[in-house]
Structure 1
């Protein structure tokens, strides 16, 4: 699958105590226009998996190449993911990057077990786009679209 180019997302949420959680995902796509649905896949053994199993909202950030190191941090178990990363709390207390190519505020629509992952289907409640060109991940490296 490393030979399949894809976008890169950082997905974030908060648990009931307000603690922030997140992960990096390249398995992300649009599902439906009506209602507006997207999906992202999360490994069932990820540290944040139990939180996302209960979360009612999450944020999907389509990142740009300048966030490549941040995406690697969010893919690393035990990393201090949010330290000095430019996140701020939205109106629901969820962590949102101050700059991203696209930011999708999602509410839970469904969850599906799929092998060693869970498919999180979110209903898009709000969209924010920026001028930044999104990163492309291909053969284990980040690339900029020409």
Structure 2
């Protein structure tokens, strides 16, 4: 067995961010109709299968977010996994320009406050369950009430600080 030589973490957040960027993750939009207006944010730190009973998913949210306090108060929050061709849409919704976040974004709604991205490969209708402090972020726990998936639509992946497409070999089907 070869001994691994790992340098200690010494507060270099740029180095840590780079290391984190090489863990591939899906990219989601958290969306809701709040007071008659679409509100939303984008996250790449989304986790499914946190719990099966009750059904929970989680997401890490910056403590400085001005959108999260509005979203968590919604009766239902829609979570849409972006498709591989929806990178520009993800950039637009995550932009600082709140006024133009939803211009020309094809949204779908349920019979609740939840909003969804059209042509998303996976979607969940959730309600806020709880949140936990996690350093400069908050871990939001969301209870899943409804959802679905289209296995024909590949997801967008965040890897190496950029959006990527999955490379599926023919052997994978």
What residue ranges of structure 1 are gaps of 5+ in the alignment?
A: none
Matched, 1:82 2:102: yes
Question: Given the alignment, which residue of 140, 161, 165 partners 1:140?
Answer: 161
Matched, 1:93 2:117: no
Distance in 1, Cα, partners of 2:103 & 2:41? 14
What residue ranges of structure 2 are gaps of 5+ in the alignment?
A: 1-19, 168-173
Q: TM-score, normalised by structure 2?
A: 0.77
* Paired positions, count: 145
Q: TM-score, normalised by structure 1?
A: 0.91
Q: Give the corresponding residue for 2:81.
A: 62
Question: Given the alignment, which residue of 58, 67, 73 partners 1:39?
Answer: 58
Question: Given the alignment, which residue of 103, 111, 128 partners 2:131?
Answer: 111
RMSD: 1.5
Instruction: Check whether the contact 1:47–1:77 (CA below 8 A) recurs between aligned residues.
Output: no
Please state which structure has a larger fraction of its residues in strand.
Answer: 1
Runs of 4 or more, structure 1, over 4 Å off, are none
- Compare relative contact order (CA 8 Å, sep 6+) and give the higher one, 1 or 2: 1
